[in-house]
Structure 1
Amino acid sequence: MLVAVMGAMSVQPARAADADALYRLLHPKSCLGCDLSRAELPDGIDLSGYDLSKTRFDGARLRGANLQGADFGGADLTGADASGANLRAAKLGTAKLAGIDFSRAQLDADFSGIDLTRARFKGSELNGNRFNRAQLGDADFSESKLVGVDFGKAVAQRADFSASRIENTHFVGAVLSGASFRDLQVQSYNVGKPIDFSGADLNGADFNGANCRGKSFRICARTDAATTCPAGNKGPCLDFGSALVARNREALISSSQCKGCDLRGATLDNKGGARIVLDGADLRSASLYRFNAPDGSFVDAKLQGADVVGDYTRAKLQGADLRADRLMGTFVEAQMQGADLSGADIQMSDYRRANLVKAKLNNTLVYGTDLRGADLTGADVQGLRYGNTAKTDATTTCPNGKPGPCAW
């Protein structure tokens, strides 16, 4: 192994570690105070249980290394590449870790109070780790799985949590201004244990696409009067999108119009009104509970994953993406030609005389839905759920163009 290590280092343009340091690294499982800065150690090298106290690994390559139980007390790992390494039970408490790459690494360390500025945890699985008061500016946690992780009072401006999956993870009092939570997924949600942002600074944070098991992120996030919301206002926060989403929400409330607006994840509960116009708006994962928009216009709007419950009598929904979590309430005489309701829950709702010509109703839940007088000519009803309980009669035009009652 010694020969392999020396060979790997000999091609380095940077200063190679001396032979004595290499020997001490491998005999006898200790390298106290060694200088291995910028060294390229063989991928997967086994240094488990080693005493590496005060060793210099700044800029070194430790990819896939077995560092389980190793002691890095006072070591310098600044900018080191430890991607894919096994660091379970490793002692990292007093090590210098700014800029280190822990991507896809196995970690169970307590990082409380440590400087991890620009550190990379991309694709890692963190379970029960503590980052209390850690310095995490520009750190990368994207595409990671975070279970029971505590970021209390961490300073994490511009940190990247995009496309991560989280459970029982908390950010109480953390500084998260400018952080990205785009497409964040809360995989399991306990009503008694929400994702806690109490007292956190979320000014400018981006939550576009963040969701709680496919629903609005807000339902599984706790904020309070001490929280600074993404738009810069004090909480409790209603919107978890971006500052732009918050501004669009206010514009809609004041003018009843916001064509083509980005309202992803916005909470619009009880903020509807007759003749409201949201043509082409992006309302994915938004909450429109009791929104009530009779005669409103949502032509070509995107409502995938939204919670839509209210009065939409005569609303214009042609070509809209209505693959909502719920699409329930009153849709009497709604214009829904070519709309996509695939997989939506429209059960026990009133769709009398609705125009559903060429609409997509694949796997749509229609238990007890009133479709009397509705026009379903050319509609795709493959996999329609509980179609036999939907109310149709001779005034209904079935998908085959013939009068009902419809036989799905």
Structure 2
Amino acid sequence: MSYHSNLNFHNVNSENFQPGEYEGCSFSQCNFAGMNLQGFSFEDCSFTNCDLSNCKVPGVSFRGVTFESCKMLGIHFQSCNPFLIEFTFKNCQLDYCGFYNLQLKKTVFSSCRMLEADFTMANLTASSFVGSELSGAVFDQTVLEKADFREAQNYRIDPELNRIKGARFDLDGLPGLLGKYGIKIG
């Protein structure tokens, strides 16, 4: 397997992107949409303004990886290598992504759009969803203790099905917590 360290990749697409280990690399304006990333490993890498929509990620390692202003629709992250998995997402589109049963403590999802993302059984302790759009996102048996949902919009979280002790919410978010009870607020 090839090894790449501290390189900058700009405007690369799936045709000229080879499997291997990438450490400390940055990717900008790259188009990997629909690519099968099996055989890739990313450590301390950053992706900026990239399109990774519908990428296949079976066994892919993501350690200390930052995604900023990326389009990442329909990625099933639950199939990647869960060992030492660590992401940061800022201003990304993560619609229809799956994070089923992943250990994602302290993960940052800052100002992301995450329509119908699946967080079923994930551990998101102390994660941040500040400023994110969460319409249709699924939280079922999810650990959200100490998670931050301030300024997040349109989430529906059932306190009886999820662990939310110590989580932070705005007053505007109360309908997303109490909706199933038919309570009117305000």
**Given the alignment, which residue of 139, 144, 148 partners 2:126?**
148
**Given the alignment, which residue of 13, 20, 37 partners 1:35?**
13
Task: Kindly indicate whether residue 139 of structure 2 is the aligned counterpart of residue 167 of structure 1.
Answer: no
- Which SS does the other structure have where 2:104 is aligned? strand
Identify, as 1 or 2, the structure richer in strand: 2
Query: Structure 1 CA distance, aligned partners of 2:72 and 2:167?
Result: 27
1:286-365 map, 5 Å: none
Match of 1:56 in 2: 31
TM-score (ref. length: structure 1): 0.38
1:35-184 map, 5 Å: 35-36=13-14, 45-63=20-38, 65-103=40-78, 105=82, 106-109=85-88, 111-178=89-156, 183-184=161-162
When the two chains are superposed, the root-mean-square deviation of aligned CA atoms in Å is: 3.3
Q: Aligned residues, how many?
A: 180
8 Å contact kept, 2:45–2:65: yes
Tell which has more relative contact order, 1 or 2 (C-alpha 8 A, sep 6+).
2
> What is the Cα deviation at residue 137 of structure 1?
1.2
* One-letter amino acid of the counterpart of residue 233, structure 1: K
Match of 1:291 in 2: none
8 Å contact kept, 2:5–2:24: no
> What is the Cα deviation at residue 83 of structure 1?
4.8
Query: Structure 2 CA distance, aligned partners of 1:90 and 1:73?
Result: 11
Question: Relative to structure 1, is the Cα distance of residues 179 and 195 closer, same or farther in structure 2, using a 3 angstrom cutoff?
Answer: closer
> What is the Cα deviation at residue 152 of structure 1?
2.5
Q: For 1:188-235, what per-residue CA distance to the aligned partner results, in whole angstroms no more than 9, with x for missing partners?
A: x5xxxx2223324464x6xxxxxxxxxxxxxxxxxxxxx864425117
Question: Relative to structure 1, is the Cα distance of residues 200 and 159 closer, same or farther in structure 2, using a 3 angstrom cutoff?
Answer: farther
Query: Structure 1 CA distance, aligned partners of 2:158 and 2:22?
Result: 35
Q: For 1:324-365, what per-residue CA distance to the aligned partner results, in whole angstroms no more than 9, with x for missing partners?
A: xxxxxxxxxxxxxxxxxxxxxxxxxxxxxxxxxxxxxxxxxx
8 Å contact kept, 2:67–2:90: no
TM-score (ref. length: structure 2): 0.76
Query: Structure 1 CA distance, aligned partners of 2:136 and 2:159?
Result: 10
Question: Relative to structure 1, is the Cα distance of residues 232 and 135 closer, same or farther in structure 2, using a 3 angstrom cutoff?
Answer: farther
8 Å contact kept, 2:10–2:28: yes
> What is the Cα deviation at residue 173 of structure 1?
3.5
Match of 1:234 in 2: 185
> What is the Cα deviation at residue 93 of structure 1?
1.2
8 Å contact kept, 1:176–1:200: no
Q: For 1:270-304, what per-residue CA distance to the aligned partner results, in whole angstroms no more than 9, with x for missing partners?
A: xxxxxxxxxxxxxxxxxxxxxxxxxxxxxxxxxxx
8 Å contact kept, 1:153–1:172: yes
8 Å contact kept, 2:133–2:155: no
* One-letter amino acid of the counterpart of residue 75, structure 2: I
Query: Structure 2 CA distance, aligned partners of 1:29 and 1:65?
Result: 15
8 Å contact kept, 2:52–2:70: yes
1:175-214 map, 5 Å: 175-178=153-156, 183-186=161-164, 189=165, 194-201=166-173, 203=175
Question: Relative to structure 1, is the Cα distance of residues 84 and 160 closer, same or farther in structure 2, using a 3 angstrom cutoff?
Answer: farther
Larger Rg: 1
* One-letter amino acid of the counterpart of residue 150, structure 1: S
Query: Structure 1 CA distance, aligned partners of 2:153 and 2:163?
Result: 20
Query: Structure 2 CA distance, aligned partners of 1:168 and 1:179?
Result: 14
Question: Relative to structure 1, is the Cα distance of residues 177 and 28 closer, same or farther in structure 2, using a 3 angstrom cutoff?
Answer: closer
